[in-house]
Amino acid sequence: MATKKLDELRTAVRARGLRATPSRLAVLALLRASAQPVSHAEVTARLTDGGWDPATLYRNLIDFTEVGLVRRTDLGDHVWRFEVVHGDHDTTAHPHFVCIECGAIECLLASELVIGRAKAPRAVRQRQVEVRVRGVCDACA
């Protein structure tokens, strides 16, 4: 990992009051590089070379969630998935597209969904709900 990138990860972790351990830095780097939310099992599979046990990686994910570096979501299959918080991809609920064929997951911008002309319920306006769009992705179509 490049020194500049490693320093940036350390700074982000320490700014939230956490120690910048090697496993935390590896997990955060993986989440930042991922284009979609990933499960604990996926994190564990991708970081097997690091020699970290699954429990340590799970604790890192939960620690990041508790301090607001990461968002945790369930996309309807009872599997928690984790995604990094940054810019417009913040801690509030946002829509996800889930392919019913291959299982690919894609984050959508709230502006990409049309709620209709009716006034949306307050929970939707305040982003206190999660929207999940299911269908067939372009690759599977």
The model's pLDDT over 81-104, given as tens digits with 9 standing for 90+, comes to 898 886 544 445 566 677 778 777
Which positions ≥6 away from 9 have C-beta within 8 Å? 1, 20, 25, 28, 29, 32
CA separation, residue 106 to residues 8, 69, 80, 94, 101 (Å):
26, 19, 15, 11, 14
One CATH from 3.90.1150.10, 2.40.50.140, 1.10.10.10, 1.10.3720.10 for 3-84 = 1.10.10.10
Residue 42 scores a pLDDT above 60: yes
pLDDT at 41: 94
Q: Tell me the pLDDT of the chain averaged across its residues.
A: 79
> pTM to 2 decimals?
0.69
Give the Cα separation of 78 and 73 in Å (integer).
Answer: 9
Burial 46-65 (b: 16+ CB within 10 A, else e): bbeeeebeeebbbebbebbb
User: What's residue 40's pLDDT?
Assistant: 96
Domain ranges of the chain: 3-84, 96-135
Percent of the chain with pLDDT over 90: 38
- Cβ atoms within 10 A of the Cβ of 106, count? 15
